[in-house]
């Protein structure tokens, strides 16, 4: 292990640690990890400034010695040896300390920056899904990228500017005291007035910087949102609209940036005036004291040299104070909005989910979305559903019935507000999120891929899977056919969100990913909605094979995709209104039969009338419901042949 920075140990826990949500504790969280390097950067610059101030004292001794010599030719050697040796030693020591400082900087700053980036990214990607639903991805990316740089820049200002400069003022005051206590008192009062004034004016810079950082994040978020949806911009020819909207955001940023600029200019003007007054006061005072024999020539040389260094240091520090407050406000804003508590967290006693059978139980579940000023909006209330191990369940119903909400609750994208969801008797809130989601494989309706190779995108379902298994999963998902036709095959980059692939191709990659995952519980959210009829026919067989031995929950709007499921649940406004197989639900009539009638004949008036006749022929409570689907399909097929 390097003595300046910690190294990651193989097998070390990879989950991101909790990060403090205030700037000072947040910074110390990382400084502790690089303790010795940070200590070196704190002490070596201070020692360097002490040596630099001492060079002026050595110059004073050298001047006094030269002026005290009566016979320079005879006395130069013995009298100048000590002062010259001190002068040379201080100069060499200054260079040695600078070398040590840059050595510590090399081994500390860049590794610490990378560690901050890693942990901030790790924290951000573990925030609750609700955070990402309510915050623009561009804003999140903006803060995730800038926060590490802001913290490191503040650290640099402290260790290279503020702390060494503060100690330099102390050293200068001590040397002024050796010359004359009045100069020490004058220096102390001047420095205190200078920095109290700067700090008071700097607070306004910090506030305006935080506001400016928020506006910058909003602009970045808007740009990323437009670029992400650039296809819609093209399709609707709305470039002028987006230009106007971005102009509104940039106008806000411009106003806040100009307000920040005015604060900075005001601060620097005050600092310039104080710099000039301090220089005139110290140099004039030293000249007056020397003329009146209050101080010697060596003291005059030392005070004049130190005054120049003192004012240069104060000037440089004054330039950094507005920047410091600007970065301080930006960092505080970034931490306050990014490092927020996750609403979905593993309990301290969370165990690993063990799935032996795959039984799923929604036990009197209630859930409500926060609808803002209107208060919580109930989606499901007192919801009870048990899914036996290995059962294939279809969730159907009109839009807004609660199908996607139930699937999201099972994946613990949100926590239930009442009741519990259990898998094999284990409350999903009592197990780790990683083990819960490791037991689930989802094929979403809207498939989004990483800008990586097809091989990497499929392997994402089970990182570390050998190429042979990845290709086998692609074969089963009928994705291998189109992959083989690509120039780079499985190594083809798919573009951002998979833009280089068609919707059907992206969905087949998602199916291959789920097949590779081989989780005991399979979740389908309109899994074949983006496929053409030929591809859907090919994949249905693969999906049936993938379902063997698994508990399956499938959301469907196209009822034909779930009619072969073991069981169908019909939802309406978060309530189960029907439960049974496809044929049973048709035989009973009701909402499911109405949905089926609309989908099977809704776009063909003749077919719709024949569908109604079929429902009259097979009443809801009549017998022989098991043959309803077959006879209905024969009747509809006969109509299609006639047309």
Stronger pLDDT, 606 or 32, i.e. the higher one: 32
Q: pTM score, two decimals?
A: 0.71
Q: How far apart are CA 65 and CA 80, in angstroms?
A: 7
Which alpha helices (DSSP H) does 389-528 contain, by range? 403-410, 433-438, 454-459, 467-476, 480-485, 503-517
Chain centre to alpha carbon of residue 330:
16
**Burial bucket for residue 447 (CB in 10 Å: 0-12, 13-18, 19+):** buried
Least trusted range by pLDDT, from 512-521, 523-532, 566-575: 523-532
The pLDDT tens digits of the residues spanning 264-290 come to 888 878 877 887 888 788 778 878 887
Residue 605 has pLDDT above 60, yes or no: no
Provide the β-strand partners of residue 387.
360
Q: How far apart are CA 170 and CA 54, in angstroms?
A: 12
At 484, the pLDDT band (50, 70, 90 cuts) reads very high
The pLDDT tens digits of the residues spanning 213-264 come to 788 888 888 888 887 777 778 767 788 888 888 888 888 889 888 988 888 8
Classified as helix, coil or strand, 477 is: coil
Strand ranges (DSSP E) for 324-449? 360-370, 376-387, 392-396, 418-423, 426-427, 440-443
- For residue 209, CA distances in Å to 149, 212, 325 come to 15, 5, 7
Classified as helix, coil or strand, 442 is: strand
DSSP state of 441: E
Residue 603 has pLDDT above 50, yes or no: no
Structural domains in the chain plus CATH codes: 23-336 (1.20.1560.10)
Provide the β-strand partners of residue 386.
361
Q: Is 353 left (phi over 0), alpha (psi -120 to 50) or beta?
A: beta
What does the chain come to in residues?
A: 643
pLDDT (mean) for 350-376:
82
Determine contact, residues 142/253, Cβ cutoff 8 Å: no
Q: Which two tokens stand for residue 487?
A: 């120039």
């Amino acid at each position: 292990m390097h003595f300046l920075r910690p190294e990651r140990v193989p097998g070390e826990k990879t989950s991101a640690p909790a990060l403090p949500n205030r700037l000072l504790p947040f910074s110390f969280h990382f400084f502790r990890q690089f303790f010795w390097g940070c200590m070196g950067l704190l002490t070596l610059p201070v020692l360097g400034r002490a040596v630099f101030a001492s060079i002026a004292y050595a110059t004073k001794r050298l001047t006094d010695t030269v002026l005290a010599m009566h016979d320079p030719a005879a006395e130069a050697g013995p009298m100048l040896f000590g002062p010259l040796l001190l002068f040379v030693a201080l100069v060499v020591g200054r260079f040695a300390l600078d070398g040590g400082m840059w050595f510590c900087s090399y081994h500390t700053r860049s590794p610490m920056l990378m560690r901050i980036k890693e942990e901030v990214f790790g924290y951000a990607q573990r925030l609750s899904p609700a955070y990402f639903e309510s915050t623009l991805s561009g804003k999140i990316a903006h803060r995730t990228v800038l926060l590490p740089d802001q913290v490191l820049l503040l650290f640099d200002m402290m260790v290279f500017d503020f702390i060494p400069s503060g100690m330099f003022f102390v050293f200068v005051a001590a040397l002024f005291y050796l010359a004359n206590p009045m100069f020490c008192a004058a220096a102390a009062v001047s420095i205190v007035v200078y920095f109290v004034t700067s700090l008071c004016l700097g607070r306004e810079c910090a506030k305006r910087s935080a506001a400016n950082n928020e506006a910058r994040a909003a602009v970045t978020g808007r740009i990323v949102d437009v670029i992400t949806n650039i296809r819609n911009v093209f399709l609707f020819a709305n470039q002028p609209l987006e230009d106007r909207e971005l102009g509104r955001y940039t106008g806000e940023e411009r106003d806040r940036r100009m307000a920040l600029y005015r604060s900075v200019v005001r601060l620097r003007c005050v600092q310039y005036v104080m710099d000039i007054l301090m220089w005139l006061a110290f140099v004039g005072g030293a000249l007056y004291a020397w003329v009146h024999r209050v101080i010697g020539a060596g003291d005059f040389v030392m005070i004049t040299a130190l005054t120049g260094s003192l004012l240069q240091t104060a000037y440089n520090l004054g330039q950094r104070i507005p920047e410091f407050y600007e970065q301080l406000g930006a960092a505080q804003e970034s931490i306050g909005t990014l490092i927020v508590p996750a609403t979905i967290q593993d309990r301290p006693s969370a165990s690993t989910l063990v799935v032996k059978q795959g039984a799923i139980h929604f036990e009197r579940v209630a859930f409500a979305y926060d609808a803002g000023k209107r208060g919580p909006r109930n989606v499901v209330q007192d919801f009870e559903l048990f899914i036996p191990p290995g059962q294939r369940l279809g969730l159907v119903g009109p839009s807004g019935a609660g199908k996607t909400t139930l699937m999201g609750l099972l994946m613990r994208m949100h926590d239930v507000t009442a009741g519990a969801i259990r898998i094999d008797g284990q409350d999903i809130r009592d197990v780790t999120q990683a083990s819960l989601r490791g037991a689930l494989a989802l094929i979403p309706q809207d498939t989004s891929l990483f800008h990586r190779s097809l091989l990497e995108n499929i392997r994402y379902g089970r990182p570390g899977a050998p190429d042979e298994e990845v290709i086998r999963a692609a074969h089963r998902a009928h994705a291998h056919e189109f992959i083989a036709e690509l120039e780079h095959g499985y190594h083809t980059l798919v573009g951002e969100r998979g833009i280089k692939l068609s919707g059907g191709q992206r969905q087949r990659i998602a199916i291959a990913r789920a097949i590779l995952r081989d989780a005991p519980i399979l979740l389908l959210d309109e899994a074949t909605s983006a496929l053409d009829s030929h591809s859907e026919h090919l994949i249905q067989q693969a999906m049936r094979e993938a379902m063997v031995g698994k508990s399956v929950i499938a959301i469907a709007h196209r009822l034909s995709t779930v009619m072969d499921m073991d069981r169908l649940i019909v939802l309406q406004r978060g309530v189960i209104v029907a439960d049974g197989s496809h044929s049973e639900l048709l035989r009973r009539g009701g909402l499911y039969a109405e949905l089926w009638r609309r989908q099977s004949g809704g776009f063909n008036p003749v077919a719709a009338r024949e569908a109604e006749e079929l429902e009259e022929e097979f009443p809801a409570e009549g017998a022989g419901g098991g043959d309803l689907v077959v006879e209905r399909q024969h009747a509809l097929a006969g109509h299609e042949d006639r047309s």
